[in-house]
Amino acid sequence: MAKRSFDFSTLSAEERVQLAEDLWDSLEDLEAKIPLTDAQAEELDRRLDAYRNDGNPGVPWREALRKIESGG
């Protein structure tokens, strides 16, 4: 791994978060250039089928958060 030449500790937390978001967003155009393997595509299809066949859409996030925060 290459040694980084920039000291990220000089950035504020907000600046580091923004940098991470910008870096992540910069990868968007690579999606088409890095195709899924057959195994990855099959796994995604399997998970999507399982989700569609489950019949349980889950719970709204606020309810899930309430349960987590209340310990139950």
Q: Mean per-residue pLDDT for 36-46?
A: 95
The pLDDT score that the predictor gives to residue 4 is: 67
User: If we measure between CA atoms, which residue out of 31, 30, 29, 7 comes closest to residue 19?
Assistant: 7
Tokens of 72: 């139950």
Range 46-63 burial, b when 16+ CB lie within 10 A, else e: eeeeeeeeeeeeeeeeee
The pLDDT score that the predictor gives to residue 1 is: 58
24/41 Cα distance (integer angstroms)? 22
User: Is pLDDT above 70 for 61?
Assistant: yes
The pLDDT score that the predictor gives to residue 57 is: 79
Q: Mean per-residue pLDDT for 18-32?
A: 88
User: Is pLDDT above 80 for 72?
Assistant: no
Q: Average pLDDT, whole number, for the chain?
A: 89
